[in-house]
């Protein structure tokens, strides 16, 4: 979208310091990629300050900049000063959303946000022009940038709201002002900032404050139903046994891929485990709200390819790799264990797990609890990576073939020695550990029989 100077000032309530350009071709937050005529937002974080790169932004052709710090330098573009550039970015996105009357679906929850978002996008795409973030743009920078990059003529924007601190859900929801809000689940995630399940639920429920049409949520989510009662929205629940959308007659095929019926409509998915079932139930709820035929939706879901790094089952050179390396938390680890327990292989079952982050004071408890789950599973070999996984290792070292390591490089070397054709290896860990590199290493192995 092209921005007039007055629109920027109206949206941000900024102070005009100097005028060189009165129209901007777009909005950017990266001085390395800002394009000719764009408005550069100088964000400031804990470890960076984009005010240091104003010269670079203008040298690349930026037409103006929004800043929050005084500057004595002279720049060849328009300057607008605000109290908080991060807030200004959100205000610009909110202004655009309201001006163009963009229809928005917003997905939040502890787990499964990206798969749900992508499944909805996949399902709606044959019927509508749909825009969604290409990457995991779900925070106070990424969500506004997704809205700001919405092409003209878009019917639906599907946003993802990820939070780890109090107050973030309200800010993201106000920017997005969704027509349809979705809460995928509530689990002990980001406890370092959000502390308890009740507080996580209270924070997630704030999406309803700014949702206009309907809210979709799990029938069994703790606290959520009560928290949503005051809001005059259409409320749709889902679940395995109770809810408006139920996975009736749920069964799993050879690779633990699910089949079930929803309102007499048969659904078959190609992604293993329970998480895609919940994503499909959310997708079908959205489809009913916007009047798509459920039988056609089910056909579309049957060929949904999944999302890279999320329960992605890859076969290569006689070995299977379950790539779930995007992130990790206690519930997501349990879901991987369920898949390993049920999936068939002619060799051994191997789990490589990285430490789970942001669990606050309960980090030892959840790592030990996971060890107890693993000790009762059908996993035969377990490799743990990172300091916190020593708690897990202590729970399983006398019950399973177990290794406690400090890096993915060590794990790669070990896997090269112990893997054989016919094995299945699940690789799961937080992004900070770069577990995706381990997936590539395993897939490139020339394994003995």
As a whole number of angstroms, the distance between CA 137 and CA 1 comes to 19
Residue 72 pLDDT > 90: no
Read off the pLDDT band of 327 (50, 70, 90). Answer: confident
Tokens in use for 66?
A: 């929004």
Per-residue model confidence (pLDDT) at position 430: 76
Helices (H), 216-268: 224-228
**CA dihedral defined by 430, 432, 435, 436, rounded to 10 degrees?**
100
Contact call for residues 370 and 330 (beta carbons, < 8 A): yes
**323/309 Cα distance (integer angstroms):** 5
- Which pLDDT value is given to residue 404? 98
Q: What is the pLDDT of residue 449?
A: 66
Domain 3-82 fold is 3.40.1390
Tokens read off for 325: 């390396």
Q: Is 408 exposed, middle or buried (0-12, 13-18, 19+ CB in 10 A)?
A: buried
pLDDT at 259 over 90: yes
Reading the block at residue 106, the tokens are 């917003």
All structural domains of the chain with their residue ranges: 3-82, 100-302, 312-443
The runs of H, that is alpha helices, within 350-449 are: 363-375, 389-396, 408-418, 436-443
Q: How far apart are CA 202 and CA 195, in angstroms?
A: 11
User: Which helix H or strand E contains 120, and what residues bound it?
Assistant: helix 113-124
What are 302's two structure tokens? 């049957």
**Residue 360: is its pLDDT beyond 80?**
yes
Q: What is the pLDDT of residues 381-422, one digit of tens each?
A: 999 999 999 999 999 999 999 999 999 999 999 999 999 999
Which class in CATH covers the domain with range 100-302? Answer: alpha beta
C-alpha to C-alpha distance for 169 and 193, rounded to whole angstroms: 13
Is it the case that residue 304 has pLDDT exceeding 70? yes
Mapping DSSP to helix (H, G, I), strand (E, B) and coil, where does residue 209 land? helix
Specify which of 130-139, 189-198, 214-223 reaches the highest per-range mean pLDDT. Answer: 214-223
CA separation for the pair 258, 269 (Å, rounded): 6
Count other C-beta atoms under 10 Å from residue 280's C-beta: 29
Q: What is the pLDDT of residue 189?
A: 84
d(CA 402, CA 351): 10
Q: What is the mean pLDDT of residues 339-348?
A: 94
Q: Is the pLDDT of residue 431 over 80?
A: no
Q: What is the CATH number of domain 312-443?
A: 3.90.190.20
Report pLDDT digits (tens) over 260-299: 999 999 999 999 999 999 999 999 999 999 999 999 999 9
Supply the pLDDT for residue 447: 77
Least confident range of 81-85, 104-108, 302-306, 307-311: 307-311
Task: Dump pLDDT digits (tens) for 206-236.
Answer: 999 999 999 999 999 989 999 999 999 999 9
Q: What are the two backbone dihedrals, phi and then psi, of residue 215, each rounded to the nearest 5 degrees?
A: -130, 130
């Amino acid at each position: 979208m092209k921005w007039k100077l007055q629109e920027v000032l109206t949206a941000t309530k900024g102070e005009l310091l100097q005028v060189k350009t009165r129209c901007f071709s777009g909005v950017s937050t990266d001085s390395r990629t800002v394009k000719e005529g764009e408005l550069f937002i100088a964000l400031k974080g804990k470890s960076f300050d984009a005010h240091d790169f104003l010269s670079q932004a203008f040298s690349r052709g930026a037409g103006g900049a929004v800043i929050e710090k005084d500057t004595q330098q002279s720049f060849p573009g328009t300057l607008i000063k605000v109290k908080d550039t991060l807030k200004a970015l959100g205000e610009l996105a909110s202004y655009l959303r309201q001006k163009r009357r963009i229809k928005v679906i917003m997905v939040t929850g502890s787990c499964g946000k990206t798969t749900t978002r992508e499944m909805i996008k996949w399902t709606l795409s044959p019927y509508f022009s749909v825009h969604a973030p290409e990457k995991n743009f779900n925070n106070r920078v990424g969500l506004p940038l997704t809205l700001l990059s919405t092409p003209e003529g878009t019917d639906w924007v599907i946003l993802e709201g990820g939070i780890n601190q109090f107050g973030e859900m309200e800010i993201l929801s106000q920017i997005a002002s969704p027509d349809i809000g979705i809460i995928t689940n509530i689990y002990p995630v980001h406890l370092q900032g959000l502390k308890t399940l009740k507080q996580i639920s209270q924070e997630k429920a704030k999406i309803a404050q700014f949702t206009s049409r309907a809210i979709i949520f799990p029938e069994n989510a703790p606290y959520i139903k009560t928290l949503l009662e005051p809001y005059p929205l259409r409320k749709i629940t889902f679940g395995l046994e109770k809810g408006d959308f139920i996975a009736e007659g749920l069964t799993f095929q050879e690779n633990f891929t699910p089949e079930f019926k929803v309102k007499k409509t048969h659904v078959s998915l190609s992604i293993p485990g329970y998480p895609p079932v919940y994503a499909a139930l959310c997708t079908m709820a959205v489809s009913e709200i916007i009047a798509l035929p459920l039988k056609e939706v089910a056909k579309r879901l049957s060929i949904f390819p999944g999302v890279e790094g999320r329960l992605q089952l890859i076969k290569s050179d006689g070995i299977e790799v379950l790539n779930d390396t995007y992130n990790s938390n206690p519930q997501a680890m349990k879901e991987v264990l369920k898949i390993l327990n049920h999936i068939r292989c002619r060799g051994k079952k191997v789990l490589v797990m990285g430490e789970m982050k942001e669990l606050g004071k309960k980090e030892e408890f959840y790592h030990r609890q996971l060890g107890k789950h693993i000790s009762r599973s059908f996993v035969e070999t377990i490799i743990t990576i990172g300091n916190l996984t020593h708690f897990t290792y202590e729970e399983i070292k006398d019950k399973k073939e177990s290794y406690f390591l400090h890096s993915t490089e060590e794990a790669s070397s070990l896997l090269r020695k112990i893997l054989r054709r016919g094995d299945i290896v699940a690789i799961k860990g937080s992004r900070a550990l770069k577990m995706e590199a381990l997936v590539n290493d395993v897939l490139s192995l020339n394994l003995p029989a």
